[in-house]
Structure 1
């Protein structure tokens, strides 16, 4: 069962601030979302080797073509308002027929983060995706 996606979907439905985003290029769709890691159930965090913390965020990303999950090479960087950059290291997660990628990032203070992602389908040109999101460490 795709438990992490169920948890993420629950968060997305209950919190419009963390709404899933989608980028489309040709036949490809990239679905992505960023949220505070403290929202993960402890079992989910442990199963996917994520740090469940009020000062950590998680970004999830999946690539789809014709409605089916596709493998990709994913890299990225985030930049805070002070201009500090943090590289993002994505890990592939396979659950049943699902493929998705996870990365964690620090949340040290209220900030607006700019995420710059490169998504390279194995059979196509890379896609560049950039988005901003305000983040808040939980007290």
Structure 2
């Protein structure tokens, strides 16, 4: 099961609209991605107990912080995510932390009714750093 996040992220690369992206905030680099769970490989979905469906979405996030020599290193964070659809319906996305070796990442599932565009609002708190707020959008297709 080691490094299944890489498989999870790679499973979405076939669709360019779902490429993982990141934002930098000082020494922090926050990576994020959102996709429908039917795009996950069956073994990845099973490993993380995620239901594969065109009406279920998954947001993935990871936080890296530059260490003393400037190398990005995974760090634990408190992450809150909300999703708003085109009808302005707001939903809280519960994030769960996954640790595999030195990797730390966060997964959150939500409902989606494609075609739709969801606006995600996330707050990220890392010990010793100011709270960071970020917004990103993802289109979901039938």
- TM, length-normalised to structure 1: 0.92
Q: Is the 8 A contact 1:77 1:88 kept in 2?
A: yes
User: What aligned pairs does 1:1-139 form with structure 2 within 5 A after superposition?
Assistant: 1-12=2-13, 14-66=14-66, 67-137=72-142
Gaps of 5+ in 1: none
Offset at 1:108?
A: 1.6
Q: CA RMSD in A?
A: 1.2
Give the equivalent residue in structure 1 for 2:69.
Answer: none
Runs of 4+ in 1 over 6 A off after TM superposition: none
Offset at 1:10?
A: 4.0
Gaps of 5+ in 2: 67-71
Offset at 1:109?
A: 2.9
